[in-house]
Amino acid sequence: MAVPFIEFNNVSSAGRFPGVYSVVARTANFQETVSSTLSAGTIDIVFMLYGLGVGVCLFRCVFGLATLLRLFIQSSKRRRWGFTVVSLDRHVSPFTFFNVLFTGKDDMDNAERETMLLHEWVHRDQYHSIDNIFLEAVTIMFWFNPVVWLFRRDIKAEHEYYADACVLKNGVSPEDYQHILFKARTGIAIDLGNYLSNKTSLINRFTMMTKTRTNHKSSYWSVSLYAALMSVIVLLGAFSARQEEPQFDKVATYEQGEAAMYQTLTARIKYPTIARRENRSGVVQVSFTVNEKGTVENIKAETQKDGYLLKEMVVVGYYQTSEKAKGIDDALKGAAVDAVEGLGKFTPAEKDGKPVRCVLTLPIKFTLGEKI
């Protein structure tokens, strides 16, 4: 969540990481293409649905906290076993919220109750309540992502597995402990949205008690590779989410003005006959460099945007075939490059009062229509 807001300075297409820049540029182009297809109304609907989901999850969390607060205020309290014990007038399994232990009516003997307390001590000492508040916050913000719900479920289950393992390490036999759990159905890590709900089944917990966890080197390698992969994905997302800062005090401009430049281009460019016959259309990104003298050089027909982006110009042709529409080809690229080659002089870009080289990109959209 934080990485996209971090400033990455001194990184450009001419920087130290051309391979990374190329991947980032393509990612950014894909994002722009997707966003350009969404209307403002569609975006408003998406935000409205997101806000509705956030509202429902937030209400669920606040309702759970309010219920715990109400139980704490209305029920009798006492200090015992290192907890502030809240006695509820109902049959519920013991559960903790920080150092507060909520207990209900039960028919356990002292030994069974001591085993349950040991389980709750683990939840308290491991600060599982903080984990659960964090999980609630993440769920509220990313409720639309199914991975968040799976992550939430597994973390809560891990809380129970860990507390169970600590109980068994203290000499309680698995058979006795399973009998107590089945009797009490306890050990829940507090779920703020449904505070008395046990999300981890006893069957899964019983199964985990019989498993032997081993630490293999392959497991560590898997985790390391996963962490590295996620770091690369997050880093690329951070780069592609921001626009590169301008590198010039003044960008290169056409000597006769922008309007004259587009008039010259319109006069020079023609829709290739072969492209019309093959029903080809699309956008050609023509990148070119304006050097320190204002001369145009290094003209290329690219698929991605590079450098300072100029306004798009549109070239309209007419159908000459009923074939299925196709994308851009060498003929369209060649026509775009030829048009830019004859533009003439530019006023060079400036940096710190000195003329510098500047890369410009001109999107030329070739589109076909029916001749009236």
Q: Give the pLDDT confidence of 74-89 residue by residue, as tens digits.
A: 999 999 888 999 988 8
Quickly state the pLDDT bin for 321 (edges 50, 70, 90). low
- Asked if residue 17 is part of any domain, the answer here is no
Same domain, 192 and 297: no
Q: How far apart are CA 327 and CA 341, in angstroms?
A: 23
Is residue 343 within 8 Å of 299, Cβ to Cβ? Answer: no
pTM of the predicted model over 0.75: no
Bridge partners for 283 per DSSP? 365
- Asked if residue 248 is part of any domain, the answer here is no
Choose the final residue of a domain: 192, 213, 234. Answer: 213
Is residue 197 within 8 Å of 165, Cβ to Cβ? Answer: no
Quickly state the pLDDT bin for 191 (edges 50, 70, 90). very low
Q: How far apart are CA 83 and CA 96, in angstroms?
A: 9
- Asked if residue 239 is part of any domain, the answer here is no
Q: How far apart are CA 103 and CA 83, in angstroms?
A: 11
Q: Buried b vs exposed e over 274-302: b needs ≥16 C-beta within 10 Å? A: ebbebbbbbbbbbbbbbbeebebeebebe
CA angle 357, 363, 366 (to 5 degrees): 150
Q: How far apart are CA 128 and CA 241, in angstroms?
A: 34
Quickly state the pLDDT bin for 346 (edges 50, 70, 90). very high
Q: How far apart are CA 30 and CA 11, in angstroms?
A: 20
Work out the average pLDDT over 259-263.
92
Same domain, 209 and 106: yes
**CB neighbours of 295 closer than 8 A, spacing ≥ 6?**
345, 346
Write down the pLDDT at residue 93. Answer: 77
Choose the final residue of a domain: 161, 181, 213. Answer: 213
Over 90: is that where the pLDDT of 342 sits?
A: no
Quickly state the pLDDT bin for 216 (edges 50, 70, 90). low
Q: How far apart are CA 239 and CA 258, in angstroms?
A: 31
SS3 call for 180: helix
Same domain, 203 and 264: no
Over 70: is that where the pLDDT of 270 sits?
A: yes
Write down the pLDDT at residue 305. Answer: 64
CA-to-CA separations, 329 to 84, 162, 269, 300, 336, in angstroms, rounded: 75, 61, 16, 14, 11
Write down the pLDDT at residue 139. Answer: 93
- Asked if residue 24 is part of any domain, the answer here is no
CA angle 132, 136, 138 (to 5 degrees): 115
Same domain, 279 and 340: yes
Same domain, 158 and 88: yes
Same domain, 184 and 89: yes
Same domain, 199 and 267: no
SS3 call for 115: helix
Provide the token pair at 127: 């600060």
- Residue 158 exposed, middle or buried by CB count within 10 Å (0-12, 13-18, 19+): middle
Provide the token pair at 103: 């207990």
Question: Which CATH number characterizes residue 307's domain?
Answer: 3.30.1150
- Asked if residue 134 is part of any domain, the answer here is yes
Over 80: is that where the pLDDT of 324 sits?
A: no
Looking at this protein, which amino acid is placed at residue 372? I
Write down the pLDDT at residue 255. Answer: 92
Choose the final residue of a domain: 165, 188, 213. Answer: 213
Same domain, 288 and 207: no
SS3 call for 175: helix
Is residue 87 within 8 Å of 103, Cβ to Cβ? Answer: yes
Closest CA to 96 of 125, 74, 137, 73: 125
- Asked if residue 96 is part of any domain, the answer here is yes
Q: Which residue segment(s) compose the domain that 116 sits in?
A: 38-213
- Asked if residue 158 is part of any domain, the answer here is yes
